[in-house]
Amino acid sequence: MIKVTLKDGSVREYNEGVTIMEVAESISPRLAKEALAGEVDGELKDLRYELTKDCNLNLLTFDSEGGRHAYRHTTSHILAHAVKRIYPEARLAIGPAIDNGFYYDFDIEKPFSTEDLEKIENEMSKIIKEDLPLERFTLPREEAIRFMEERGESYKVELINDLPEGEEISFYRQGEFVDLCAGPHVQSTGRIKAFKLLSVAGAYWRGSEKNKMLQRIYGTSFAKKTQLDEYLFRLEEAKKRDHRKLGRELDLFDIREEGPGFPFFLPKGMVLRNILEDYWRTEHKKRGYQEIKTPVILSEELWHRSGHWDHYKENMYFTKIDDMNYAIKPMNCPGGMLVYKRKLHSYKELPQRMAELGLVHRHELSGALHGLMRVRCFTQDDAHIFMTPDQIKSEVLGVIDLIDSFYNVFGFKYHVELSTRPENSMGTDEQWEMATNALRDALEAKGMEYKINEGDGAFYGPKIDFHLEDSIGRTWQCGTIQLDFQMPERFDLTYVGPDGERHRPVMIHRVVFGSIERFIAILTEHYAGAFPVWLAPVQVKILPLIEKHHDYALDIKRALDEKDIRTEIDLRNEKIGYKIREAQMEKVPYMLIIGDKETENGTVSVRSRKGGDLGSMPFGEFVDQIIREIETKAK
């Protein structure tokens, strides 16, 4: 008999060789119906996997990440199976599950069309209806190579050759289709209930421009059709909210072919940007931050000293000045170190909180550029906090509170991840353990749920990443708190302690927005361009009916200008319906319609973007109302 410890801590005994599915069936018929895979001592396994020793078992349904992975990975195999039935000459590359779906890469002469996707979907439906079992089998290396060579699958042969010696080479069979795969998969093709192929794109084999361009088909699948429908609705909504489209329509920003990846901010975009930066400055001043500005170009030697040269040089730009080598900064932290190092500090001066809206440049491949989301120059809302070791927890807690307050203002929910030591890291095991524990202690002191993101820390320290959720359920990684014992060491930073001796400070790197450019893109999509009043580049549009109302309309504009309310007036000789529609397209929060009655009575007829026609009201009452919305940052 073996003991199986379930997720709830309960322990059950079974005969050796019991399968994960049999365990699920022994617990409940419903669980057996919903189970897709199992996690055995932390490793994902098929439901057919036999348990041969005492273990911890987590039964995975579609509600779990591992369950979704097995489900969508199986759907990618069904996609490949369908392609091979219709296009036998296609050669298979790779087909993993990814966030929200899956893809499969194919080597095929003629690119796939929209009509091809429909044919492939129909064939996939047939394969699902056939309810073919997915059966795992293994082969020795040489036999596995021959097996794939006989099927003409040269990409699979290359993958097998790259596997470590002695590693088990596993395959999955469903009907006549066989694929090299580590799994896991669901038990049969019939388990897939709802799927959709979404798009086709080019993708270089193994991501290298030196290799052949393949055809990548993207798709998604869900356990229920309603879930798929909701997801497809969100995709359509995302297209409408695309910040690149809205940025052009609302005249916020532009990216020109003369500067790919280097955005131009237009007058209305600058209004939005300045509001965000002003808010950032106000909130940081309240919390004891001092603002600094460091140079964009610094000597190459500095980047050797900081460690960026060894870990980041392929993403940097370089230049020569007076025959000396310089780098355009990809990060602000080395400049912050030099600011701290300019004089000797006492422990009584710590913590020192230095904030910087710093312009950085990073090389991105042209194919990776995406509006304001992925650019080659951007402004990080950086801060570097220098502190004593006993101040770590309170400072981390302070940054968490600051980030929380910012995201609440914009109406974002968020979750956090604790990212741990990566492979190419600097520092000792002891330093990394101390830093990671300090971040974990702060999260637990706040009672925050968090996920461990193994190996995704910065090269100099672990970090807490904040993933905010927008109005259509997408998540974006923005804020981060990085704890660093390495940079103070490399720059020989010190402070004088109460014992009169010099000690090494600890530092925090942190951002709230992440980058101003990317945050503006996220806000644009979150609000679908309909920014709340306090953020709107134009808050009020004044629309006089005819020329005789212009004087009163201009008086209204002057009065609003004096209150710092951002206002435009439309004096064109156009019908009022046309003016209203245009203002609606510009997503202006308020329109003031000025006619005979308003001119005679000193009132305004108010149309709200949210509430429609609000009727006539005294002008002073409207001013009080909009100022209240601006001051409270009403959503």
Which two three-digit tokens encode residue 267?
């007058």
Token match 């090494």: residue? Answer: 504
Task: Kindly write down the DSSP assignment for every residue of 560-615, as one continuous string.
Answer: HHHTT--EEE--SS--HHHHHHHHHHTT-SEEEEE-HHHHHHTEEEEEETTTEEEE
Burial 104-130 (b: 16+ CB within 10 A, else e): bbbbeeeebeeebbeebeebbeebbee
- List 68, 308, 329, 384, catalytic entry: 384
Q: Which of 179, 382, 465, 484 is catalytic?
A: 382
Residue 391 designated active-site:
no
What would the DSSP string read from start to end of 56-116?
Answer: EEEEE-TTSHHHHHHHHHHHHHHHHHHHHHH-TT-EE----EETTEEEEEEE-SSPP-HHH
Rounded to whole angstroms, how far apart are CA atoms 32 and 254? 54
Decide if 181 is catalytic: no
What are the angstrom distances between the C-alpha of 126 and each of 74, 118, 220, 475, 518?
Answer: 15, 13, 17, 34, 43
Q: Which of 463, 526, 541, 566 is catalytic?
A: 463
Residue type (1 letter), 331: M
CA pair distance 357, 277, nearest whole angstrom: 8
- The answer to whether residue 509 is catalytic is yes
Active-site residue, selected from the candidate residues 84, 174, 196, 333: 333
Give the contacts of 132 (CB within 8 A, at least 6 positions apart).
Answer: 174, 175, 188, 189, 190
Q: Pick the catalytic residue: 185, 216, 361, 509? A: 509
Query: Could you tell me whether strands 101-107 and 91-92 are parallel, antiparallel, or unpaired per DSSP bridges?
Result: antiparallel
Range 426-442 burial, b when 16+ CB lie within 10 A, else e: bbeeebbebbbebbbeb
Is 380 one of the annotated active-site residues of the chain?
A: yes
Catalytic residue among 362, 510, 566, 607: 362
Query: Which of 174, 380, 431, 539 is flagged as catalytic?
Result: 380
Sign, CA dihedral 12-15-19-24, equals negative
3-state SS, residue 491: coil
Q: What phi and psi, each to the nearest 5 degrees, are found at residue 277?
A: -70, -40
User: Which residue, 539, 521, 564, is CA-closest to 265?
Assistant: 521
Q: Is the distance from CB of 84 to CB of 110 less than 8 angstroms?
A: no
26-34 contact pairs (CB < 8 A, 24+): 27/59, 31/59, 31/61, 34/61, 34/62, 34/223
Q: Which of 157, 170, 35 is nearest to 91 (CA)?
A: 157
Output the CA–CA distances (angstroms, integers) from residue 315 to 318, 337, 361, 363, in the order listed.
10, 21, 9, 5
Which residues make Cβ contacts (< 8 Å) with residue 515, sequence separation at least 6? 378, 379, 380, 381
Residue burial 368-391, b: 16+ Cβ < 10 Å; e: rest: eeebbbbbbbbbbbbbbbbbbeeb
447: Cβ contacts below 8 Å, ≥ 6 apart = none
Phi, psi of 68 (to 5 degrees): -65, -35
Helix (H, G, I), strand (E, B) or coil at 512: coil
CA angle 537, 543, 545 (to 5 degrees): 170
Asked if residue 27 lies in contact with residue 58, where contact means CB atoms within 8 angstroms, the answer is no
Token output for 348: 């009584």
Strand partners, 221: 195
Annotated catalytic residues are: 333, 362, 380, 382, 384, 463, 509
